[in-house]
Structure 1
Amino acid sequence: MSYHKLLFSEMKLRTLGRTGWISRLCDGVSRRGKVCFSSCSPKVCVVGSGPAGFYTAQHLIKARKDVEVDIYEQLPVPFGLVRFGVAPDHPEVKNVINTFTQTARHSRCSFYGNVNVGKDVSVEELQQAYHAVVLCFSKFFLYMCVCVCVYVIRGMGVPGEDLAGVYSAKDFVGWYNGLPSCQELSPDLSCETAVILGQGNVALDVARVLLSPIDILKKTDITHPALEALAESQVRRVLIVGRRGPMQVACTIKELREMVNLPDTRPEMVVADFQGVIDALKDLPRPRKRLTQLLLKTALEIPGEMEQERRNKASRTWGFRFFRSPVKVLADPDHNRTAGIRLAVNRLEGSGEGACAMLTEEVEDVSCGLVISSIGYRSVPIDPSIPFDSHKAIVPNTMGRVQQAAGLYCSGWLKTGPTGVIATTMNNSFDTARSLMEDMDSGVLHISSAKPGSQTIRALLEKRGVKPVTFSNWEKIDSVEVKRGEATGKPREKLLTVEEMLQVART
């Protein structure tokens, strides 16, 4: 049957009312006018249900009317860093969950939570069951036992970093956002001064949560234990330390503006850190120029009367400290916990984004009881059979195609390294999906032969005693969390353990 005849038949059937079977048949017409029955539909497996996973699935489903996508996730709940990484006072960023939910509810998409790829099922078994496998891991699932690589926290590499009172930003964010593996953290917030190492958006998120009035936080989806701890917190001063200067700061202008306008706080900057910055403004690209101008205004300009009055009344302070690198965490007299941090004073070699920080012999000690390291993550390989670039800490790929591994693709930080925001992830995920579709159209992927997909994997999981959580199971969890939140005036009150999640999902 020609393509035009198929279209005519479809229009006629729309008028008469189509049965479900005919509807599915018409949905199976490809761009080339060929009918693909479900038994021969391309089956794609996505590992990881964060933004990278869902954006990849979304693009595949929209672009091809015959593709079927299954998403596998280690935890019983979906959405990755949108749930566990986005700051609780940024609900607008979490609205992307609505789009992901539409994708998960699509007739050609299935979600399988509570499945630990690498432990419950191997990547090799997934490759046998699917035409293509796309690896998409969220940065906050650092303990995932995947047969490719895991993300580990980049340590400071200085004496004393194992003292009580030193935490990674990943763990601290996971604690207040409800990541099950971080719920035993119980950070000590009894000190007056906290030092955050790193000046990216995550560092500013942590600073803002530490200093936000509790009346603001109690209206968010921050966890109840974290809210209680922050209500009793004695932290009144937060220093955000970076190894380079104001023109290399890694945060965005939105995050900086939120810090500047945070109620009951005032900025505390070192004027000398901004020497020569005004003269360099004219040569900066526009986004960097706007960010630097806001920094200069905050640090150097005399505020207006209303702003000055607001600052005078503030009970908490925050500030950037530039040109500083940690060299030692200082212990209290009993050598039990953190009492301060020693910072080396740096000088810059070069200029602009490529400027390098060089240590000098000058150091300064800062008294503090809390040190939070937000200096990044890197992936490490845990399966020698998968290609891995140790220098770039990524799976080597060409537009998402894993090198020397036909049918294997990657997206998110495995593809690019730990960089960018959710919008960045969306674009690189769409690129990976396009690469996969090009390979289907060109014949690089042999989609003419049927693959069993989830049918085989579900059987394997059942044999191994693993019961996946479906998206409808997740919606039970979602409903319980929302109802618990409504009782206290919050968007939701998250379940904090895998056991609780599974109990609700299987009720």
Structure 2
Amino acid sequence: MRHIAIIGSGPAGYYTAEAAQKHWGDDVRIDIFDALPVPYGLIRTGVAPDHQSIKGVSRRYEKTALTENVRFVGNVTIGEDVSVADLQGLYDAVVLATGAPNDRQLGMEGEDLANVFGSAAFVGWYNGHPQFADLAPDLSGRHAVVIGMGNVALDVARILAKTEAEFAGSDIVGHALKALNESNIHTITILGRRGPHQIMMTPKELGELMHLERASPRVDPEDLPEEEEDALLEPGLRKSVAHLRSFAAIPESVHADTPVEIEFDMFASPVALEGDGKVQKVRVERTVVEAGRAKGTGEFYDIPADLVVSCIGYRTSPIPGVPFDERAGRFANDEGRILPGLYCVGWARRGPSGTIGTNRPDGFGLIEKIAEDDASGALGRKGKAGREGFDALAKERGIEVVTFRDWKKIEEAEEAAAREGAPREKFVDIESMIRARD
């Protein structure tokens, strides 16, 4: 029997567990650890609340979770409750599937001003992550600036622009829905250093902006390259640029009739955030793109900003005793191998790139490497204590473990508390989650 510990219950963690099951069958026991009492990681707290179809992938993870040789071990913080070294002593292989939950810093003057947030914090706020539930962004101003040209920036802009009615069927948490319903934001500027041919936004997400009740997207036609140049783009990006062209063609009369405007400001690099205690404007340098890279022109201007959300990427959380690549913001690894018996997968391995589905081949590929190490003897002899050993350690240390059965009780309570039309009302603090299982 092989015993595997997976740290992180998001997509990378569950796909890795699924792969281990398919490789070893009944000859493996897998414990999936999470600091929260609830599973699914990014699916629960990262995917936009109005994208319920994407969240449906959790049903696949539940199928894995309900098998006899996979166990969810929630409410256990690695590095505090137990160390990686503790787990290495109990399990044949330890896999870090912790994702990249921390915001990359802007690295510019003024980012510590009030009402400036990274996307992990802001998205966590409207998705009910316990760490960010008390964020309380001030939405009383008229101008929001979203920094970044990827899908997360689109998510943030779309959430800020929606009416209460448009959140029907979503699982946005109550405190965020109330704040957004009372929002006074009129202009949402999406700021990007490069141009239309370098955006990371996908066609589906861009297309959603054309169907908002009270908002219209605006693109300056001068920012668009000659249309024949689009033919050189890969198909997905070409479709995305086509959306930008359609935004640029929206008549001024339409903009005049919509109370919220989502403005794409491209070839624009933020260089400083300014304000008296609280952010008031973004200082921007106009850029040109040379060989795919943005280069400053020395031309500066200001954009009013009562709220700033930075969507420029994420970093993995370091864990004591685990080699970490500070520059890349992920664990130092060779194709998933960190140290003998210690591995990483998903964003913790490759950085924040790819889609949710990208984690499936990543998880299956890692299990192939673990199997290779097993066959070569690198994992050592069988016979480690595995989950029985962890349970004894947890009892000794007074660790209050939350199981998958407990999670199902929490889920039932969230569904029972849902407002009309919503799938659930999430608990936004750990204490409430744990009480709900009793």
TM-score exceeds 0.5: yes
Structure-1 separation of matches of 2:393 and 2:412: 30
Structure-1 separation of matches of 2:390 and 2:99: 22
Aligned match for 2:286, one of 332, 341, 345: 345
1:137 correspondence with 2:98: yes
Aligned match for 1:252, one of 180, 190, 202: 202
Secondary structure at the residue paired with 1:397? coil
Q: What letter matches 2:297 in structure 1?
A: T
1:325 correspondence with 2:261: no
Deviations 1:76-96 (A, max 9, x none): 111001000000000000111
Aligned match for 1:360, one of 286, 297, 303: 297
Q: What letter matches 1:193 in structure 2?
A: H
Partner of 1:295: 244
Partner of 1:104: 65
Q: What letter matches 2:68 in structure 1?
A: S
Partner of 2:88: 127
| CA-CA distance at 1:380 after TM superposition | 6.0
1:117 correspondence with 2:54: no
Structure-1 separation of matches of 2:376 and 2:397: 37
| CA-CA distance at 1:379 after TM superposition | 3.4
Partner of 1:7: none
The aligned runs of 1:363-378 (5 Å cut-off) are 363-378=300-315
Secondary structure at the residue paired with 2:366? helix
Structure-2 separation of matches of 1:408 and 1:243: 38
Partner of 1:476: 409
Aligned match for 2:129, one of 158, 179, 186: 179
| CA-CA distance at 1:382 after TM superposition | 4.8
The aligned runs of 1:294-443 (5 Å cut-off) are 294-299=243-248, 301=249, 313-331=257-275, 335-350=276-291, 355-379=292-316, 381-383=318-320, 385-402=321-338, 405-443=339-377
Structure-1 separation of matches of 2:319 and 2:373: 28
Secondary structure at the residue paired with 1:238? strand
Structure-1 separation of matches of 2:414 and 2:319: 35
The aligned runs of 1:132-281 (5 Å cut-off) are 132-140=93-101, 152-274=102-224, 276-281=225-230
| Overall identity of the aligned pairs, in % | 39
| CA-CA distance at 1:212 after TM superposition | 0.9
| CA-CA distance at 1:392 after TM superposition | 2.6
Structure-2 separation of matches of 1:379 and 1:257: 31
Secondary structure at the residue paired with 2:219? coil
Deviations 1:98-123 (A, max 9, x none): 11111111010111100011111111
Query: TM-score scaled to structure 2, two decimals?
Result: 0.96
Q: What letter matches 1:368 in structure 2?
A: A
Could you tell me which runs of 5 or more consecutive residues in structure 1 were left unpaired when the two chains were aligned: 1-40, 141-151
8 Å Cα contact 1:340/1:365 also seen in 2:
yes
Secondary structure at the residue paired with 1:92? helix
8 Å Cα contact 1:246/1:322 also seen in 2:
yes
Partner of 1:4: none
| Aligned residue-pair number | 437
Could you tell me which runs of 5 or more consecutive residues in structure 2 were left unpaired when the two chains were aligned: none
Secondary structure at the residue paired with 2:126? helix
Alpha-carbon distance change, 302 to 488 in structure 1, aligned in 2, over 3 angstroms: closer
Partner of 2:387: 454
- Please provide the CA RMSD for this pair: 1.7
Structure-2 separation of matches of 1:124 and 1:309: 64
| CA-CA distance at 1:309 after TM superposition | 7.7
Q: What letter matches 2:187 in structure 1?
A: R
Deviations 1:155-208 (A, max 9, x none): 222222222121111111000000001011101001111100001111110100
| CA-CA distance at 1:457 after TM superposition | 1.3
Using CA pairs under 8 Å that are at least 6 residues apart, name the structure with larger relative contact order, 1 or 2.
Answer: 2
Query: TM-score scaled to structure 1, two decimals?
Result: 0.83
- Greater Rg, structure 1 or structure 2? 1
Structure-2 separation of matches of 1:71 and 1:201: 29
| CA-CA distance at 1:302 after TM superposition | 5.8
Q: What letter matches 1:61 in structure 2?
A: Q
Partner of 1:76: 37
Task: Tell me which moved more, 279-288 or 233-242.
Answer: 279-288
Alpha-carbon distance change, 343 to 310 in structure 1, aligned in 2, over 3 angstroms: closer
Partner of 2:427: 495
Structure-2 separation of matches of 1:426 and 1:488: 34
Structure-2 separation of matches of 1:92 and 1:415: 27
